[in-house]
């Protein structure tokens, strides 16, 4: 990974949209910092599109799409994207509501099986706001070891589920969607292509995004996931969490 300062001015100036992870990238572990949130307004002022890409639930994403200065939000690891049009929230999902109910029942059964085999696990505290996936807490309110995390992931995959590991959750779902697939739909809606986009993240569930997009940045803590990531970002910030996000936006602004 190269220092962010090694990105040349031409690559920076060609960026028209920033897709960004939330937990550990935009949001600090203890809180959303005002300086990070204010960066979204600065992006809008210079014409940069902003798209949040997260494993967080539909309930949270509805609020983000409605109130934050963003152009769209991809949620639950690619199950949907929301954006605001006038006073209305437009919701685009990968599957219809009938498939949602089928997959939800499968997830309920899978969770019961997981509890039998891993009795110390618990659902994430935001589970009740989710529509499409199951989130297991690994570092937000309880702590699981690396071995426990990998064992849960292996068990879920053996049952035919998809998984993603973030800095706080294991996300589990049934279906063919991914963050990158849904992000491409958003990019197309914005009239852009993948070469116009920069993605910034921090953890293993960002690895497919780091692999797909040409311009990618990791905040400092991305170095902590050795052995859990298949692809690392091209660049890395000096700072971590929301401060790393601010560092990126300030860098992009400086080249314009």
Per-residue pLDDT tens digits for 50-103: 999 999 999 999 999 999 999 999 999 999 999 999 999 999 999 999 999 999
Q: What pLDDT is recorded for position 218?
A: 98
Confidence band for 227, pLDDT divided at 50, 70 and 90: confident
- Exposure string of 28-64, with b = 16+ CB inside 10 Å and e = fewer, is beeeebeebbebbebbeeeebbbbbbbbbbbebbbeb
The 10s digit of each residue's pLDDT in 171-197 is: 999 999 999 999 999 999 999 999 999
Q: What pLDDT is recorded for position 55?
A: 96
| Residue 114 burial by Cβ neighbours in a 10 Å radius (0-12, 13-18, 19+) | buried
Confidence band for 226, pLDDT divided at 50, 70 and 90: confident
**Block residue for tokens 């203890």:** 30
77: left (phi over 0), alpha (psi -120 to 50) or beta: left
The proportion of the chain whose per-residue pLDDT surpasses 90, expressed as a percent, equals: 96
Q: What pLDDT is recorded for position 7?
A: 97
Average pLDDT, rounded, for the chain: 97
| Residues 27, 242: Cα–Cα separation, whole Å | 5
Tokens at 175, concatenated:
């279906």
Q: Do 14 and 247 form a contact (C-beta atoms < 8 A)? A: no
Residue 256 has a CB neighbour count (10 Å cut-off) of 11
Confidence band for 217, pLDDT divided at 50, 70 and 90: very high
Long-range contact set of residues 41-49: C-beta below 8 Å, sequence gap at least 24: 41/69, 42/249, 42/253, 43/18, 43/69, 43/249, 44/69, 46/252, 46/253, 46/256, 47/16, 48/15, 48/16, 48/17, 48/18, 48/249, 48/252, 49/16, 49/17, 49/18, 49/190, 49/192
Q: Do 82 and 182 form a contact (C-beta atoms < 8 A)? A: no
Q: Which domains does the chain have, with CATH numbers?
A: 2-94+177-254 (3.40.50.1000), 97-173 (3.90.1070.10)
**Block residue for tokens 């935009």:** 26
The 10s digit of each residue's pLDDT in 29-38 is: 989 999 999 9
- Exposure string of 184-217, with b = 16+ CB inside 10 Å and e = fewer, is bbbbeebebeeebbbbbbbbbbbbbbbebbebbb
**Mean pLDDT computed over 8-28:** 97
Residue 74 sits at the vertex; the CA angle it makes with 32 and 209, to the nearest 5 degrees, is 90
Q: What pLDDT is recorded for position 140?
A: 95
DSSP string, 6-71: GS-HHHHHT--EEEE-SBTTTB-SS---HHHHHHHHHHHHTT-EEEEE-SS-HHHHHHHHHHSS-S
Q: What pLDDT is recorded for position 228?
A: 84
pLDDT at 144 over 90: yes
Instruction: Output DSSP code: residue 123.
Output: B
């Amino acid at each position: 990974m190269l220092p962010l300062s090694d990105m040349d001015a031409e690559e920076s100036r060609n960026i028209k949209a920033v897709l960004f992870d939330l937990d550990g990238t935009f949001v600090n572990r203890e809180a959303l910092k005002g300086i990070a949130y204010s960066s979204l307004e600065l992006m809008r002022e210079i014409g940069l599109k902003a798209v949040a890409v997260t494993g967080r639930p539909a309930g949270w994403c509805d609020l983000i799409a409605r109130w934050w200065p963003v152009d769209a939000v991809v949620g639950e690891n690619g199950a949907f994207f929301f954006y605001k049009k006038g006073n209305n929230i437009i919701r685009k999902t990968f599957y219809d509501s009938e498939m949602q109910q089928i997959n939800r029942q499968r997830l309920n059964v899978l969770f019961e099986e997981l509890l039998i085999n891993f009795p110390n696990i618990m659902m994430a505290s935001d589970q009740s706001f989710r529509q499409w996936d199951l989130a297991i807490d690994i570092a937000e309110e309880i702590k699981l070891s690396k071995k426990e995390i990998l064992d849960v992931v292996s068990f879920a995959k053996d049952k035919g589920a998809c998984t993603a590991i973030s800095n706080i959750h294991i996300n589990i779902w049934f279906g063919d969607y991914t963050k990158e697939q849904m992000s491409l739909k958003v990019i197309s809606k914005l009239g852009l292509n993948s070469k116009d986009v920069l993605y910034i993240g921090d953890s293993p569930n960002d690895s497919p995004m780091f692999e797909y997009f040409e311009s990618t940045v990791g905040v400092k803590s991305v170095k902590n996931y050795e052995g859990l990531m298949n692809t690392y970002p091209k660049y890395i910030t000096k700072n971590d969490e929301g401060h790393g996000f601010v560092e990126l936006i300030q860098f992009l602004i400086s080249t314009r």
